[in-house]
Amino acid sequence: MNILILNAGSSSVKFGLFDAEARETLASGLIDWTADPQRAPLVIQRPGAEEVRSSVEVTDHRTALVHVVQSLTGTAGGESGQDDVITGVGHRVVHGGAVFRDSVGIDDGVKAAIARFSELAPLHNPPALEGIEAAQSLLPGVPHVAVFDTAFYAHLPPSAYLYPVPYEWYTDWGIRRFGFHGISHAYCAGRAAELIGHDLRELRLVSCHLGNGCSATAVRGGKAVATTMGFTPMEGLMMGSRSGSIDPGILFYIQQHRGITAEQLDDLLNHRSGLLGVSGVSSDFRRVEAAARSGDERARLALEMYAGRVRAAVGALAVTMGGVDGLIFTAGVGEHSASLRATVCEGLDCLGLRLDGQRNAVCQPDADIATPDSPGRIVVIHTREELMIARETRRVVCNLMNVDEQIR
């Protein structure tokens, strides 16, 4: 029996199929009906085999998952024999608030809570909930598990999760830092310990998840102690189309003097800022890099700002821990842009982080790109969020099965 992992977007689903021990990837892929629901591309990759592509008709998450399940197992959801193939389904959920401090089996109460937190993660929680509903209708005979990005930050101390605003904002309204990309940061911290060759419990790590969304987290002894993202996934580092942290006074000014509504402001900060807003080219880092190489000054400026904010965050998080033993680069930009890594690492010698330019230029994840004499290591890691979700799903399913056995 195997574990199915689902990461649902508004018009897409990333998926993975793992063995029952959550050690081996049996298949992974993506179905995306954003551009053409009539001919949505379905891509499946199995280890040691060529990528398989097909076009299918998709009207919603349920029909998308019908194609996914059929392609992976040879049976449609709910058909006889399907329960012999899939033993559990894990769902990535971005925002679990302060309620979910761990992964949980999904019931109606869990779904209601995920829906409540949708206003804090409007780009992520609603499609996750749609994916859960669709998967439960197709695979009703197996347990479904929610794995939360915010759970990795459940043990942040109050000094790290509270904001310097009236305390009643926290007690009455629940305003606090939650943190995101926790699944990625948790996996990469463990993998970094393996690469560095030290017990995770002894390490101080700064993990930089750099993609369309960006965050950096300080991990000490395997636990998150500080992070750049906050109440929502908008705070912190400059991102693809999100601004990251800015002076709150700017928001008051443009609302009062430029007639910008709250709805317009939300759109501007979430969808028209970051790399896209500064460069005027794209939210895609690769396109901005290409434009900068062609002499586009705004694109060059956007890259300089992006790297500068990452570098500043690395310094701040390292000081929070009293030093740093390892710096992690992960996610799409962190894993693939050697120039970005080089720019971020400029000036980090003061923290004992010395980049080897040659190693950096040719590295493929997972790799150590620090100089041999660097006191702190610099590692590039391919994040495997699906594997982490599979491990969590297996753990929760095993616990649920043990409870069931005790009841019987």
pLDDT of residue 4 exceeding 50, the answer is: yes
Other beta carbons within 10 Å of 205 = 29
Residues 210, 73 share a domain:
no
103 vs 233, more confident = 103
One-letter amino acid for residue 113 of the chain: A
Write the pLDDT tens digit of every residue in 252-266: 999 999 999 999 999
Q: Are 215 and 180 in contact (CB under 8 A)?
A: yes
Q: Are 192 and 203 in contact (CB under 8 A)?
A: yes
Give the tokens for residue 196: 């560095």
Q: What is the 3-state secondary structure (H, E, C) of 97-117?
A: CCCCCCCEECCHHHHHHHHHH
Dist. CA 1–CA 397, nearest whole Å: 12
pLDDT of residue 201 exceeding 70, the answer is: yes
Burial class of 382 by CB neighbour count within 10 A (0 to 12, 13 to 18, 19+): middle
Residues 115, 234 share a domain:
no
Dist. CA 140–CA 247, nearest whole Å: 48
Residues 245, 138 share a domain:
no
Residues 310, 245 share a domain:
yes
Mean pLDDT of all residues in 136-153: 93
Within 259-284, residue ranges assigned H as helices are 262-271, 274-279
Residues 204, 148 share a domain:
no
Is 321 within the bounds of a domain? yes
Is 376 within the bounds of a domain? yes
Q: Are 180 and 146 in contact (CB under 8 A)?
A: no
Is 314 within the bounds of a domain? yes
Three-class SS state of 215:
strand
User: What are the residue numbers of the active site?
Assistant: 149
Is 278 within the bounds of a domain? yes
Q: Are 275 and 283 in contact (CB under 8 A)?
A: yes
Residues 203, 150 share a domain:
no
Confidence of residue 84 (pLDDT cuts 50, 70, 90): low
Residue of 264, 285, 265 lying closest to 274 (CA atoms): 285
Q: Are 204 and 322 in contact (CB under 8 A)?
A: yes
Is 175 within the bounds of a domain? no
Residues 230, 121 share a domain:
no
Residues 366, 240 share a domain:
yes
Query: How far, CA to CA in Å, does 263 sit from each of 89, 229, 269, 271?
Result: 36, 21, 10, 12
Tokens 């982080």, located at residue: 353
One-letter amino acid for residue 151 of the chain: A
Of 120, 154, 188, the last residue of a domain is: 154
Residue 225: CB partners within 8 Å, gap ≥ 6?
A: 156, 157, 160, 218, 219, 320, 321
30 vs 408, more confident = 30
0.75 surpassed by pTM: yes
Is 395 within the bounds of a domain? no
Residues 208, 145 share a domain:
no
Length of the chain: 408
Give the tokens for residue 70: 């059929």
Residues 305, 364 share a domain:
yes
Dist. CA 217–CA 227, nearest whole Å: 4
Residues 68, 8 share a domain:
yes
Residues 116, 45 share a domain:
yes
Is 162 within the bounds of a domain? no
Mean pLDDT of all residues in 71-95: 75
Please give the tally of structural domains in the chain.
2
pLDDT of residue 313 exceeding 60, the answer is: yes
pLDDT attached to residue 391: 94
Give the tokens for residue 235: 């705070």
Q: What is the CATH number of the domain that holds 41?
A: 3.30.420.40
DSSP for 370-389? Answer: B-TT-SBEEEE----HHHHH
Query: What's the domain range around 60?
Result: 2-154
Is 102 within the bounds of a domain? yes
